[in-house]
Amino acid sequence: MPYIYYMAIKRGDLVRWVADHDIYEASGDVLVGINPNYRHGIIIEVSVKDTDAVMVYCYDCKKRREGSWMILNLKLDELDILSGQSDG
């Protein structure tokens, strides 16, 4: 379930995003990823200039020898909000 634009993303939200896929299959002239590999993190900052850009601390990336800090784009990355604080 990709990011839905009417949901407000905030600091402290727990998110996941697709880093890559285990398997790809041909669909016509393109490859389509199936069985996604997710990374999980907490939103640390939402950009003031570009609200589609967020800084995330990835807490399961070190196991995969990746960097802990990620900058994600809400329009380009398949981002899901798993948990967040409500306003009321």
CA distance 66 to 17: 14
CA distance 30 to 61: 28
Six-digit token pair at 52? 């589609």
70 inside domain: yes
Query: Given this model, what pLDDT does residue 4 score?
Result: 46
6 inside domain: no
Residue 20's domain comprises 14-83
- pLDDT of 88 > 60? The answer is no
pLDDT tens-digit series, residues 16-70: 999 889 999 998 899 998 899 999 999 999 999 988 899 999 988 877 677 889 8
Query: Given this model, what pLDDT does residue 85 score?
Result: 66
* pTM of the complete model: 0.74
| Number of structural domains the chain divides into | 1
CA distance 22 to 10: 30
Helix ranges (DSSP H) in 1-88: none
